[in-house]
Amino acid sequence: MKNHKIDLLVREMLNEKVVALYVRSDLELPFVPVVGMQFKQGTSTWLWEIDGGELMPKIEAVIYDLDQETLVCLFTVAKPLKSGFWTKIEGADIEKSTYPAYYQARS
């Protein structure tokens, strides 16, 4: 069975503006994720942990990056994620990163 290289990309939105990105790169999954799918992680760590609970976002888009030969799953949340599973990108580093190209058109 072939594994597929997957990146998870989460936008934290506030007043219709991206205030942070959360990324998990180079996961390998034995299936291709689809729009609407949700991810969970075992009982010891909450993948979608926030202050006072847990979110349950669904994949909004699955993008195949031809250059990187990887699938990118895009999510959006409205609250900061607390799990150590993610690498957080914020402030000016958002626009310096390669990730905005996955959710906004280039001008």
Residue 107 lies in a domain: no
- The residue segments making up the domain with residue 62 are 4-102
As a whole number of angstroms, the distance between CA 79 and CA 96 comes to: 22
Q: What pLDDT sits at residue 26? A: 86
**Burial call 68-104: b when 16+ CB within 10 Å, e when fewer:** eebbbbbbebeeebeeeebeebeeeeeeeeebbebbe
Q: What pLDDT sits at residue 1? A: 75
As a whole number of angstroms, the distance between CA 37 and CA 96 comes to: 29
* Inter-residue contact 73 to 7 (CB < 8 Å): yes
DSSP 47-106: TTEETTEE------EEEEETTTTEEEEEEEESS----TTSEEEETTHHHHSSGGGGTS--
Instruction: Please state the domain count of the chain.
Output: 1
Residue 46 lies in a domain: yes
Written as tens digits, the pLDDT of the chain (107 aa) is: 789 999 999 999 999 999 999 999 989 999 999 999 999 886 666 899 999 889 999 999 999 999 999 999 999 999 999 999 999 999 999 999 999 999 998 77
Q: What pLDDT sits at residue 6? A: 96
